[in-house]
Copies of this chain bind each other. A is one copy, B any other.
Amino acid sequence: MHELRKDPLLQRWVVVLSDDSKPPSFYCADRRRGIPPRAPCPLCEIGDDAVEIFRIPNSDPARPPRVRVIANNHPILQVEGSLGRRGIGMYDAMNGIGASEIVIESPTHDVEPDERRTDNLSLVLETYRMRIEDLQKDMRLRYVLVFKNHGRAAGAVYDHPHSQIVATPITPRAVKDELYGARTHFGLKERCVFCDILREERRAGSRVIAENRDFIAFVPYAPRFPFEIWILPNEHQYSFVSLKSEQTPNLASIISLCTGKLGAVLEDPPYNMVLHTSPNKVPRPGHWQTLDDDYHWHIELLPNLLTHAGFEWGSGFHVLATTPEDAARYLREAR
C-alpha cells in the first residue's frame, strides 16, 4: 500500500508511491522522449480486468455507455484497508487510503461537435455529483477532488476525453486554505467571500468572460496563472452536491464556452480543471466543518503556460505575464 507522510514543518501531507518506487531511469526516459500515445487507446477499449464503478448507459443498449467511471488501475490511493495512523520517530504517516477513479467522458476518442459535447458534459457533471455523493458516505474519507488534465504538458496520460476523481483521507491543504480564508472573511463581514467577489466582478466588468442565468465565468483579480478562469454559481451553494438538475446544462455550456475560448486564443493549450467543493460533511471531531454560509463551490480552469521556477517554488509568489484584464478581453472577444 502507498503511504501518506506529513511534513513536520509545514504540516503538509504528501503521497509516497512506496509500492511502486521508481528508479532514476524512469524520469530520464520521460524527459528524453516524452510519453508516447498508447495504441490502442485503453479508454476506447476497456479491458476485462477494468473495474467499472458507474455508468450512464446509451438509450440504444447496443451502443457503448455515454459516460463510465472505472477504478484507476494505478491508484495513488486505494479503497481497501484501514488508515493506520502512526508515528515514525518524530514524523507522522498513514496508509494511502482513498479512491482513485477515472471518468471516461465519452465513448468516442475524438472531440465531438460542440453541441453534442455540451450535451455529454451535462452527463459528466451529473456523474461527478453522484460519485461525490457516494464517496462522501465513506467515513474514512474527508474530501473528494474532481479534476481534469488536458494535454500531455498538463499531466494527461490519455488523449481520450477523461477526468479523474481522487478521494483523500485528509482535507487537502489547498482546500483548507480556501476554507480558512472564506471563514475569516465571513467572521469579519458576515458575508460569503465568493458572493462578494462575484458581485465585485460584475460591478467592475473588466474581468468577466461570460454569464448565463446560473453561472458567471471571469478571470480572478489575482490568479496564479495567466488566462486562469473561475466559474461560480450565481446562487450561493456551498457544495457541488446542491447543484440542481436544471442548472447542469447551463454549467456545461459555460464550461464548454470557456474551454473553447481558451483553445481558440491559446491554440489548444494544456490546462487543468479543478472542482472545489466543501469537504465531506459527516461530523468528525477536530476537523474542518464548513458552515453552509461561508463556502461556495466553484470550478477553476488553470492553463499551463509558464514554467514554475525557483522564484515561484521558493516564494509561493506567482508571476502573471499577462494582466487579468487583458486575458479577459482576449477571451471575451474570442469565438
A interface residues (Cβ-Cβ under 8 A, vs B): 5-18, 20-24, 26-28, 30-31, 76, 88-91, 143, 145, 147-149, 153-156, 164, 166, 168, 172-175, 177-178, 181-182, 185, 193-194, 196-197, 200, 203-204, 220-224, 226-227, 265-267, 269, 272-276, 300, 302-303, 305-311, 313-324, 326, 330
A223 partner residues in chain B, CB cutoff 8 A: 7, 14
Given contacts A316-B12, A320-B16, contact A310 B22 (CB under 8 A): no
A147 partner residues in chain B, CB cutoff 8 A: 309-311, 313-314
Q: Which of B154, B164, B321 sits near A22, CB closer than 8 Å?
A: B321
- Shortest CB distance A162–B (Å): 11
Q: Is the CB of B321 within 8 A of A313?
A: no
Q: Which of B8, B173, B274 sits near A310, CB closer than 8 Å?
A: B274
Q: Is the CB of B221 within 8 A of A5?
A: yes
Q: Is the CB of B319 within 8 A of A17?
A: yes
Which of A10, A91, A222 gathers the greatest number of chain B CB atoms within 10 Å? A222
- Shortest CB distance A7–B (Å): 4
- Shortest CB distance A62–B (Å): 34
A316 partner residues in chain B, CB cutoff 8 A: 12, 172-175, 177
Cα A14 to Cα B12 in complex, Å, equals 22
- Shortest CB distance A82–B (Å): 20
9 closest cross-chain pairs (CB), A and B = A155-B309, A147-B310, A172-B315, A274-B314, A173-B316, A174-B316, A272-B310, A5-B222, A7-B222
A26 partner residues in chain B, CB cutoff 8 A: 321-322
- Shortest CB distance A49–B (Å): 23
23 intermolecular pairs with C-beta atoms under 8 Å apart? A6-B222, A7-B223, A8-B193, A8-B196, A9-B181, A10-B177, A10-B181, A12-B318, A21-B321, A22-B321, A23-B322, A24-B266, A27-B306, A31-B153, A89-B200, A90-B196, A145-B314, A147-B311, A153-B307, A155-B308, A166-B315, A272-B310, A273-B310
